[in-house]
Amino acid sequence: MDMAKQIIFEDEQIRVIFLQGSSDELIFSFGDLITRAKGTSINAEKSLAKFGFNVVGIMPKQKSWFPESSMLAMLEAIRAWIAPFQTRIAYAGSMGGYAAIKYSKLLGFKRVVALVPQYSIDPEQVTDNRYNMFYQPELNHDMQVQAKDVSAECEYIVIYDPYCSEDRAHYEKLQTVVPNLNTLNLPFTGHDAIAVLASSDLLHDFLRHEFDAPYFYKKIREVKKNSKFYYRKVIENLLPRHRFSLGRILKNNELELDGQFFDAKLKQSIIRELLSNRQVSQTDLLKLGIQVNLPQENSCQLMDSFGHGLVFNMISQKIESYAPDAIALNHKFLLPIFAKGNGLVHIYYNDMRYTVVMNDRQIMKLVHEQAELSAGMHPLLMKKYSDYYLISYKQFNFSCDEYGGFDLVEDIPETAQFLVSSDAESDVFL
């Protein structure tokens, strides 16, 4: 064991580690649901050690929200360790943020910095499907933050996203019992404030700098500007509410994200938003870590039952459907699927013909018609009937929904019946 760190208390619920430093202050760093006890690791240890803080790390061993019985037993065991320190400051997030506020008077804190804390996990007090499942009456009964838990001599700072309804419900309850609650808003980041604000210098200011909201917001902006995680969270949370904000983010920030930065689901949502609402530029796509080869040809195309044109999306590498206006704006990336009679589904790219192929995991790609197929890949078939066309994979047919996505079905509902466009959309595909 590192001689600068010692386990000074432990029971079934928590493990408490003392990290020796050189500071006058003693920092209490609480772990959360994710950063539970592991060896002698302490929440935010690297940043705290950088500045030589003396630290008491209180790390949960269970998902039990720091039961009062364990915390009282801990206090008795560590009194001698903490007695020399008159200035005690707590830093924590989520479950740890709750504990930092709940035990602030008990442990004599002068300041508490709590990121997205809870008020209670009791479903009778706050409905929160994320955490109500962890409520245990024998451990957590009557453990909401109460007036008797907090101190008028302690300065409380809470950082949270006011647009996250679950966290706002806790915040509003905390407001009723915590005196003079200082608040820093971190919009559109959901419950991920801890990851977004990961910065040694910002943590140092949270612990030592006098509370000055303009100063802290300036420092937060500097951290956010360099946080790829921040942009991922903002984009993820903004898309459903403020669809045009993505364009402003791309325009105003020099992002250089890699291809794995967004997961597949979020990447598809971003692509659809870009293609549906604004002209896509290759620069925008490169900022988002999305690379694509460009194509095109013109002719009339197949339409789905919602009046949208069938395309092969070169960005998402999927068959999708889009409104004609969106296709017109983004003709470099949305390649129409033409009605060519019975046969393989073909796409034209740079005056060359490619076949659309797919495997059982519904991964699609374009293959030159003379190229060999890789294992598991099968061409999609176009079938012409008297009143409609089908696009098929093995025994399944493609069925579209009103949002442009597709499912595979075994029957032939109206949503699987594709029609030839009534007029040659040649002006769209120039």
Asked if the structure places residue 137 within a domain, the reply is yes
Asked if the structure places residue 292 within a domain, the reply is no
Question: Which runs of E-coded beta strand occur in 177-300?
Answer: 182-185
Helix (H) or strand (E) holding 195: helix 193-196
Asked if the structure places residue 213 within a domain, the reply is yes
222 and 243 housed in the same domain: no
318 and 411 housed in the same domain: yes
155 and 41 housed in the same domain: yes
φ, ψ (nearest 5 deg) of residue 369:
-60, -20
396 and 355 housed in the same domain: yes
316 and 183 housed in the same domain: no
103 and 139 housed in the same domain: yes
Asked if the structure places residue 429 within a domain, the reply is no
143 and 165 housed in the same domain: yes
274 and 411 housed in the same domain: no
pTM of the model: 0.63
Supply the range of the domain harboring residue 386.
302-420
Whether 71 and 140 have beta carbons less than 8 Å apart is answered as no
Asked if the structure places residue 254 within a domain, the reply is yes
Asked if the structure places residue 232 within a domain, the reply is no
Query: Both tokens of residue 133?
Result: 């499942």
Number of structural domains in the chain = 3
Whether 333 and 281 have beta carbons less than 8 Å apart is answered as no
* pLDDT values of the chain reduced to their tens digit, one per residue, 430 residues: 455 899 999 999 999 999 999 999 999 999 999 889 999 999 999 999 999 999 999 999 999 999 999 999 999 999 999 999 999 999 999 999 999 999 999 999 999 999 999 999 999 999 999 999 999 999 999 999 999 999 999 999 999 999 899 999 999 999 999 988 999 999 888 898 888 898 889 999 999 999 999 999 999 998 987 777 777 777 777 666 666 666 666 666 666 666 666 667 777 777 777 777 655 666 677 777 776 654 444 457 899 999 999 999 998 899 999 988 888 878 788 999 988 889 999 988 777 889 999 999 999 999 998 899 999 999 999 999 999 999 999 999 999 998 889 999 999 999 999 998 754 433 332 2
How many beta carbons lie within 10 A of that of residue 231, not counting itself? 21
341 and 206 housed in the same domain: no
203 and 82 housed in the same domain: yes
38 and 131 housed in the same domain: yes
Question: Which runs of E-coded beta strand occur in 219-339?
Answer: 302-303, 309-313, 318-322, 334-336
